[in-house]
Chains A and B, each alone.
Chain A
Amino acid sequence: MRSAAITFVLIAASAQAADTAFFEAKVRPVLVTYCVKCHGPDKQKGGLRLDSAAGWQTGGANGPAIKPGSPEESLLITVISRTDDKTRMPPGGKLSGPEIAALTRWIKEGAVAPVGPARVGGMTLAEAQSWWAFQPIKRPAAPRNAADNPIDAFIQSKLAARKATLSPPADRRTLIRRATYDLIGLPPTAEEVEAFEKDTSPDPFARLVDRLLASPHYGERWGRHWLDLVRYADSAGENSDHPLPHAWRYRNWVIDAFNADKPYDEFIREQLAGDILAVQGPPGDYASRIIATGFLAVARRFGHDIDKDMHLTHEDTIDTIGKTLLGLTLGCARCHDHKYDPLSSKDYYALYGVFDSTKYAYPGCEFKQQPRDLVPLATPTERLRGVFIASARTQQVAYAVTEGRSHDVKVQAGGDPEKPGSVVPRRWLEVLGGQPLSGGSGRLELANRIVARDNPLTARVMANRIWLHHFGRGLVESANDFGVRGSPATHPELLDWLATEFIESGWSIKALHRRIMLSATYQQASASRPDLSVDPKNEFYARFNRRRLSAEELRDSLLLVSGQLDRTPAGPHPFPPESAWNFTQHVPFASFYETDKRSVYLIAVRNRRHPFLGLFDGADPNATTPQRQTTTVPTQALYFLNDPFFHAQAEKIARRALAKADEVDRLNELFVAVLQRPPTNRERDLASGFLSRYTNELATAGPDKTVVAWSALARIALASNEFLYLD
């Protein structure tokens, strides 16, 4: 529940906003667009500033610019209505009728404008400095209590205040299913469950976690969380939705980076500035670092002629970087200063300049079909010798970015590139220091600022995400928004403890998994308890949160239990060759390719939702997704009743069970394959009864009849809540 204090802040903010709404809507845009460039912070022609009440009240060489209440006596109105021959403003041409009318009305009504101390966006500087997320991260001491694991100590101290305790540990089967899905997105095998249940060594769970973290499937699960955040797609998203035949290299790079436990600071630096680092670093890392900048290249493209809508692509980039890396809704500052958080429009355009100084690979669009500016993976030296060496890599390219022409950009009034304001130098966010971003585009410097030890956001945001994916809810529930409109942390000290652990471990994500998973908090049972009704959302972790499998986990599990899963990583999609492309907004690219590989390798098309992933709440590749929804809708139930793929997997499992001799063994085989446990006596009776009633309904005799009935039983097992939900 939102705290009363926050609610009060919001109401106060909205009342103030109402007072000055007319100024903000009609007056400030005119002043910013036409006046402040010469009469503002950068220049003060005639000594006049029009960017604050103090400025227009003091006025310039000719006295006050405004007399509140009297437009006819206000110099500002005289010069803009051009009734005076000497001074006519603005010099570029007369304002429109409505613009003059707005300024006149505003002065007539008293020239009300926001007053108060220096502000950045929606906060005063003092407020910004005291906002929790901008406080430096300090390592809090774990509370002293019975818990010997610091995470449990933090959790238990909050629980104790509510006279509650952790739940008992989950049973071994539940635990291995939970951990295996959690780390590799697949169920454990029956053998793995049995071995874990019988393991009498002192630390079986720690060894299980280590085994799972070392699995190549770990990156396919946790890389997918990252791909959700960076709105990864295999098509560009512009009106003809051109395919991105090389984007897969970035997808696989993310998976590999998670598997290698690439330190998170390096992981970010390479994604933002890998092309710059590639030149500096060892040649062996060159290609991988180029590929990493696919993070920027896969930014969504817009419109018919995508060059004309690059301002929207930059918004997509800045919005994604803000939410994903910093937990800040930077995109809100495109059209105006942020209404709540300390982020200004200048902050936005200071970063915009960085990306406008970057050259993006071009995916093609309706009337320029062919891609260009794809980035070679061979090092410059290799390319120089390219004709002589037979390395295939000399031919390979990535959908990536390179340095462009370095320049600063102008603020765009209302986010409209046709309304340029004053130039903003490329720099870091003012609230976090505002240091210049120099050196080429400024991307490397930006990346360094984001991962700097004194940036209070990056480590907190990522530690919160790791917690979120383990427990189903972040310590900060709004994982992409650490600002005023986000939710406050339920356990702020624990969050800071995790963030410092994260940094001190060398930004190791795997170390943080281990830390979290070895806590009693992670290993407790999920069963509800009568004494927990006061905490229906389980914000204080007195039990584990039951969860539904994600779309990918569901499909991968179906393939695995039917024996069809191809565990090898995928490469490129079988797109038509570029030479054959002729995509238009009338006939856009829109193909889905089948595969038996893991679902992280399914194609993600921007303008067409993948039918299966869309049905089960897969990530929308058009915007950063911090957490999947879990909807329960009848069209999902129709999938479990009638989908041909689903039916086919069930039949394969049935046939495997039927290889056993008698019904008891067959039922064991089926239940163990699907649920990693034998049936209970009651379930055995239920299944037997079902099989005989169902067989009676079948017209044909013979072995087919058995397969049909057992396939139906397999569908029931696969459609069960026990299969779809993890305790």
Chain B
Amino acid sequence: MFLPSRRGFVQSAAAGSMLMPGILSELLAADTVDPLAPKAPHHKAKAKSVIFMFMSGGVSHVDSFDPKPKLIADHGKQVVFDHPEARNRPGYEKLFLKKPNWKFAPHGKSGTEVSELFPRVAEQVDDIALIRSMHTSHSNHYNATLGMHTGSFSFARPSIGSWLSYGLGTVNRNLPSFIVLAPQMPYAGTQVWASDFLPGSHQGTRVVPGKEPVANLARRVPTDKRQQLELDALKAFNESHLATRPEDADLAARIRSFETAAGMQAEMPAALDLSKESEETLALYGLKRGQQDGFGWQCLVARRLVENGVRFVELIHTGSSGNWDSHGNMAEHGKLAPQVDQPMAGLIQDLKRRGLFDDVLVVWTSEFGRTPFNNTADNPGREHHNWAFSSWLAGAGVKRGIVHGATDEHGIRAVEKPVHVHDFHATILHLMGLDHEKLTYRHAGRDYRLTDVSGEVVRGLLA
């Protein structure tokens, strides 16, 4: 093949040379014919793929993964903060600490405390690296959701899955490199999985449960035989067109794309077909046989997709409504948590018993946390809180059974080893073998990267 060898040439010519990373990425980007071809990482990767679980709306850290006895003791005490969600907000002139709704207890050998909200995940806590010192730059759903996915809190930028697809390519061309399992639309809409200025082949492909999980995936002609006749005839026409234009790689690539599409027609439904999964496996995810919805379905399909070589699978729990945004009543958390608790715990167990836990990085996060206070102590809800929240990583290359960082005594600010979204992203890229400062793309005169101008790999999380 002509182009891969050119790529090889560019890479070897650039290795150790004075070519700036931006120019290198531009030279490599000129290979538009197969932008998804697998590429070498910057350093040896710990993880081959990512399952990114995103809880939309803002999960309360002090009710789930960040125990604060002092918050219980000081319940009702007034606190004074210039908080973005209270500033200039009528009725929010005074703020009072508010105790959690759920009890915490230590679990596993690590003794990490997790609340009753997530009893099944609590049983897996020895396999999790819990970050209690997350913080982010915006207290609005839209902006914080965009930030957690793209590193930009206002402007449209490529999503983390697109960056990984761009940086590493993918091994199975019959499936997209970046798949989003999202039954509902999240805040900020399709920007959450957009490739933006990166080539369009890196954008997330949204898969929804149901008859047609990907747009136009279902074969419209009734039989395979008929479709094959059409594909053969199309190929014959296209090849006689190509014969007089033999140098044109785009035309050849488009001919191949029909073969890939036919492959996707076969492989995607196969990847989504849970009929061959055992009762035991289904039970791990809390699924009934034949069930094709719910977070358990998303988790099990995610495992099957990474098994089939998909680089980045994002699972969005709920969307821009009916989500974790429990302003009105924290009791809503109690209805949502059981939807995800068993599936997440099952996913960890399933990956472990299949030997995939050493290859797959599992990420769990929300766009921000919720305020450990409110305008009255007996206000049943909590507000958006970007100063502190909890996230966790598990699997390939990650320490097991640890807690990283801490918030203050009331869970208000990340005070010990704070981890910003940019640091979080830098760490995920690092585990995938990419240096977040070198993974750049030249666009409009600037070298852009996922982590903007900051971000540091959180070494304390690495195994």
Contact = CB atoms under 8 A, between A and B. Distances in A.
Contacts of B260: 634, 637
Contact of B20 (A11, A304, A309): A11
A716 B233 CA distance: 7
A639 interface: yes
B190 A607 contact: yes
Given A546-B248, A719-B234, A644 B445 contact: no
Interface string B242-263: 1011111011011101101111
Interface in A600-633: 607-609, 611, 614-615, 617, 620, 622-623, 629-633
A638 B214 CA distance: 10
Given A629-B200, A638-B216, A694-B226, A721 B251 contact: yes
B53 to A, nearest CB: 21
B331 interface: no
A480 B32 CA distance: 21
A635 B20 contact: no
Contacts of B112: none
Interface in A290-306: 302-304
Interface string A521-555: 00000011000000000000000001010000000
A725 B234 contact: no
A590 interface: yes
Interface-central residue, B173, B187, B245, B265, by most chain A CB under 10 Å = B245
B318 to A, nearest CB: 11
Nearest to A624: B444
A7 interface: yes
A635 B205 contact: yes
A241 B188 CA distance: 9
B154 A302 contact: yes
Nearest to A621: B156
Contact of A623 (B33, B156, B226): B156
Given A585-B140, A638-B264, A717-B237, 17 more contacts: A14-B20, A309-B154, A332-B446, A485-B446, A527-B244, A548-B250, A615-B215, A620-B156, A623-B155, A630-B250, A632-B201, A641-B216, A642-B220, A694-B230, A719-B258, A721-B255, A727-B245
Contacts of A630: 32, 250
Interface stretch (A36-44, A106-114, A662-670, A682-690): A682-690
A697 B237 contact: no
A287 B416 CA distance: 60
A641 B250 contact: no
A720 interface: yes
B236 A697 contact: no
A173 interface: no
Interface stretch (B127-135, B191-199, B285-293, B301-309): B191-199
B242 A642 contact: no
A100 interface: no
Contacts of B173: 634
A329 interface: yes
A716 B230 contact: yes
A631 B32 contact: yes
A615 B215 CA distance: 10
B221 interface: yes
A10 interface: yes
A488 interface: no
B247 A528 contact: yes
Q: When A and B form their complex, which 5 residue pairs have the shortest distance between CB atoms, in order from nearest? A: A637-B261, A485-B445, A607-B189, A631-B200, A239-B142
Contact of B216 (A590, A633, A635): A635
B329 interface: no
A724 B191 contact: no
Interface in A709-727: 712-713, 715-717, 719-722, 724-725, 727
A483 to B, nearest CB: 6
A588 interface: yes
Nearest to A341: B445
B215 A635 contact: yes
Contacts of A228: none
A486 interface: yes
Given A304-B142, A683-B237, A635 B444 contact: no
B196 A527 contact: no
B40 interface: no
B234 A634 contact: no
Interface string B133-168: 000000011110000000000111000000000000
Nearest to A609: B190
A595 B215 CA distance: 20
B383 to A, nearest CB: 13
Contacts of A304: 140, 142
Interface in A548-600: 548, 585-588, 590
Interface string A75-102: 0000000000000000000000000000
Given A546-B245, A586-B320, A622-B156, A642 B142 contact: no
Interface in A265-314: 302-304, 309, 312
A127 B23 CA distance: 22
Contacts, number: 207
Given A303-B143, A485-B446, A634-B257, A697 B248 contact: no
Interface string B30-70: 00110100000000000000000000000000000000000
A303 B143 CA distance: 7
A196 interface: no
Contact of A588 (B227, B240, B251, B320): B320
A687 B217 CA distance: 26
A154 B325 CA distance: 64
Contacts of A642: 216-220
A480 B445 CA distance: 9
B278 interface: no
Nearest to A240: B142
Contacts of B203: 614
Nearest to A323: B444
A11 B241 contact: no
B225 interface: yes
B140 A697 contact: no
Given A304-B142, A607-B190, A629-B199, A528 B445 contact: no
A719 B445 CA distance: 36
B140 A607 contact: no
Contact of B250 (A609, A632, A636, A686): A632
A548 B32 CA distance: 14
25 contacts: A7-B23, A11-B20, A14-B20, A239-B140, A309-B154, A329-B446, A332-B446, A485-B445, A485-B446, A586-B320, A586-B325, A587-B320, A590-B185, A607-B188, A608-B190, A609-B190, A631-B199, A631-B200, A631-B201, A635-B216, A642-B217, A643-B216, A690-B233, A720-B237, A721-B254
Nearest to A10: B20
A478 interface: yes
B1 interface: no
B265 A638 contact: yes
A702 B156 CA distance: 54
A698 B222 CA distance: 10
B241 A585 contact: no
A139 B33 CA distance: 39
A634 B226 contact: no
A620 B251 CA distance: 25
Interface string B428-449: 0000000000000010111000
A587 B230 contact: no
Given A611-B215, A632-B250, A724-B254, A585 B141 contact: yes
